Amino acid sequence: MEMPIDMQHQAMGYDRTATMFSPEGHLLQVEYAEKTVRLGVSSIGMVCSDGVFIIADRRITDKLILQESSNRVHEIDNHIIGSIAGITSDGRILVERAQLLAQQHRVSYDSPIETELVIKDISNIKQQFTQYGGARPFGASMMIVGISGKKVELFTSDVTGNYFSYYANAIGENDAKIKDKLREKWKKELTIKQGVKLALDIFKEVQDKGFKQDRYDIAFIETKDQKIKRYTGEEIKDFIK
């Protein structure tokens, strides 16, 4: 009886290092990291007619935990926000790297950094951890949104170090289902408030009985004032009325 491909790879050691290609051309440790990301908390980012936002599921309901400490939308700079899916501690390293890069740019050039420069730097770091031995790949995908001048942008960087610009995207648990619904329902004319309501409707449809509106974090930047605003828990209900 022939051994399944996965077992063959394990027996031959192709899944023990991020730098060894399998005979089929796969980096198995990278693919395992991608599976880890799909077990992470979900978040949706969306470019709207009046700005951009990220909504993220905290997925922590323990009453002993201070909810503010489980914030899932991070401030990179005063014009850029981001979220992580996958291993939270891996994501924290990437967020702190992005924050440092943004501050260094302000000190060096006396101007805010462009959103794409941040995601490009993060993607380069991720790529390095798929190419050199002695370390495992980052088990995290990163989504960032920002406004540079009047340019509204959303980027997502995956485990491999690739990144793309999107109108709307999702990372984390059920990302494929969420993206299918975004392709169907997203429109350029949506305002931030309408976009947040759409995102919550999608979460409700995907999560079914597990959906609770008060466990989400929302952060957005409006084009008119370019300031980060946040809503959590019961505040969300008032925002989308």
Q: Where are the beta strands (DSSP E) in 159-227?
A: 163-165, 168-171, 216-222
**Tens-binned pLDDT, residue by residue, of the chain (241 aa):** 454 666 555 546 667 777 788 888 888 888 889 999 999 999 999 999 999 999 999 887 777 887 777 789 999 999 999 999 999 999 999 999 999 999 999 999 999 999 999 999 999 999 999 887 778 899 999 999 999 888 999 999 999 999 999 999 999 999 999 999 999 999 999 999 999 999 999 999 999 888 888 889 999 999 999 999 999 878 888 888 7
Q: Which CATH class is domain 25-239?
A: alpha beta
CA dist 194 and 13 (Å) reads 50
pTM for this predicted structure: 0.90
* Sequence-ordered list of residues with C-beta below 8 angstroms from that of 157, at least 6 positions apart, any chain: 119, 122, 123, 126, 141, 142, 143, 163
CA dist 142 and 158 (Å) reads 7
Contact 137, 161 (CB under 8 A): no
H helices of the chain, where? Answer: 5-12, 28-37, 88-109, 115-128, 175-185, 192-207, 234-239
Residue 44's DSSP bridge partners are 55, 170
113, amino acid identity: I
88, amino acid identity: T
Contact 42, 85 (CB under 8 A): yes
Kind and range of the H or E run holding 107: helix 88-109
